[in-house]
Amino acid sequence: MAEKSFKYVIVGGGVAAGYAAREFVKLGLQPGELAIISKEGVAPYERPALSKAYLFPESPARLPGFHVCVGSGGERLLLEWYEEKGIELILTTEIVKADLAAKTLTTASGELFNYQILIIATGSTVIRLSDFGVQGADAKNIFYLREIDDADKLIEVIKEKKNGKAVIVGGGYIGLELGAALRINNLDVTMVYPEPWCMPRLFTSGIASFYEGYYANKGIKIIKGTVAVGFNSDSTGAVKEVELKDGRVLDADIVVVGVGGRPLTTLFKGQVEEEKGGIKTDAFFKTSVPDVYAVGDVATFPLKLYNELRRVEHVDHARKSAEQAVKAIKAHEEGNAIDEYDYLPYFYSRSFDLSWQFYGDNVGDTVLFGDNNPESPKPKFGTYWIKDGKVIGAFLEGGAPEENKAIAKVARVQPSVENLDHLANEGLSFASKI
């Protein structure tokens, strides 16, 4: 059985792994000290591109164009970069056993890796309809989007089913972004989701009504308040119909499912403390096990701004938590201290000609401002969330960079507000004054 030893090992080859590698190099890394083990066959890349520009019919994004760290305006880390820095990038390799007490990792082929310090960056996996025993959910042409291989398969079938019918199951992030991408590819798109409006975990009904209206104007049909309960296939095993709980049956050449993800923590079950579905860490992403750190989607960490433990699934947190963990590792080695992680939750999305950003927390009363008419040639609107007399969250569609910075500042500073009607009238100018 082959055996290799490294000072640092990162398990998972997603966004967090790439940003962690860059931070290690920045803070001083010797050749041969770091290994990244990934089950994907390519170097770490900016995952958000998959549901956006990768599927564009014209000038699509392709590797090596969106390897990390271009997503935050940094240098693109190609395979050669890892080689130059003496980082071992171990691709197409799945870890099937982690023994945290022995500090060993075992691969599917029986290879053994020893480490001194481990960073868990395994991310999330998609929730599949077959997990719930949905009839026919294993038919061909039913897609999930998590990795570049998934996107490549989707591109092939988009070409093959030109002008065909696509059904999107799910009305969250992935559903909305893929609905737009498939419509741009001239597919006849229907979206199906059980909630009363799209993106219910973040959007208010006022925000959602704009996007639903805009999508309808683009020719996307939206069916709310029901779920897919079965899929019928043709003689080749390819999906041809989607059965809905309300009795309707939709024709489908392609089905894309986006019903959420779950953190990949199975390897570490029973070995490390967990909370809120993730691996519990401190403000430096240290877990309950010495020399083991967890970052990105899998980490449940103290969110200082709200004084609570939280797990955040977003690329921005994946990047920043990875950098924080590496800073903490290096500081500990040198006997230094660093500041606690002080994260401001941030989410964004782009589809069609739209682009929104959200900062902070979406609890409390809400105030909608601006022009949220989906018929408007240049819609621009936002929402503030107010709790205990303070603005704690802000959303903006169609904002310029300086306006997005202003709403971020509002969410961070949490200014007091006395009159909600007054706030609605002030709109974006309230943020600009902070």
pLDDT digits (tens, 9 = 90+) for 410-429: 999 999 999 999 999 999 99
What's residue 394's pLDDT?
98
pLDDT digits (tens, 9 = 90+) for 58-107: 999 999 999 999 999 999 999 999 999 999 999 999 999 999 999 999 99
Q: Where are the domains of the chain?
A: 3-125+262-333, 129-259, 353-433
What's residue 2's pLDDT?
74
Tell me which residue has tokens 């000072």: 7
| Identical fold between 3-125+262-333 and 353-433 | no
Which DSSP state fits 59?
S
What is the rounded CA–CA span in Å between residue 176 and residue 258? 9
Q: Reduce the DSSP state of residue 343 to 3 states and report it.
A: coil
Mean pLDDT of all residues in 113-138: 96
| Mode of pairing for the β-strands spanning 34-37 and 112-120 | unpaired
Measured CA distances, 146 to 170, 257, 270, 347 (Å): 15, 11, 26, 18
> Which pTM was predicted?
0.96
At residue 171 the predicted structure's pLDDT band, cuts being 50, 70 and 90, is very high
Query: Are 203 and 211 a contacting pair, CB within 8 Å?
Result: yes
What is the rounded CA–CA span in Å between residue 284 and residue 295? 9
Encoded tokens for 58: 């014209």
pLDDT digits (tens, 9 = 90+) for 275-329: 999 999 999 999 999 999 999 999 999 999 999 999 999 999 999 999 999 999 9
Is pLDDT of 252 > 80?
A: yes
Residue type, 217: N
Mean pLDDT of all residues in 393-414: 98
pLDDT digits (tens, 9 = 90+) for 258-267: 999 999 999 9
Instruction: Give percent of the chain with pLDDT exceeding 90.
Output: 99
> CATH class for domain 353-433?
alpha beta
What mean pLDDT is reported for the chain?
97
Is pLDDT of 363 > 70?
A: yes
Is pLDDT of 1 > 70?
A: no
CATH superfamily of 3-125+262-333: FAD/NAD(P)-binding domain (3.50.50.60)
Is pLDDT of 39 > 70?
A: yes
At residue 403 the predicted structure's pLDDT band, cuts being 50, 70 and 90, is very high
Query: Into which CATH architecture does domain 129-259 fall?
Result: 3-Layer(bba) Sandwich (3.50)
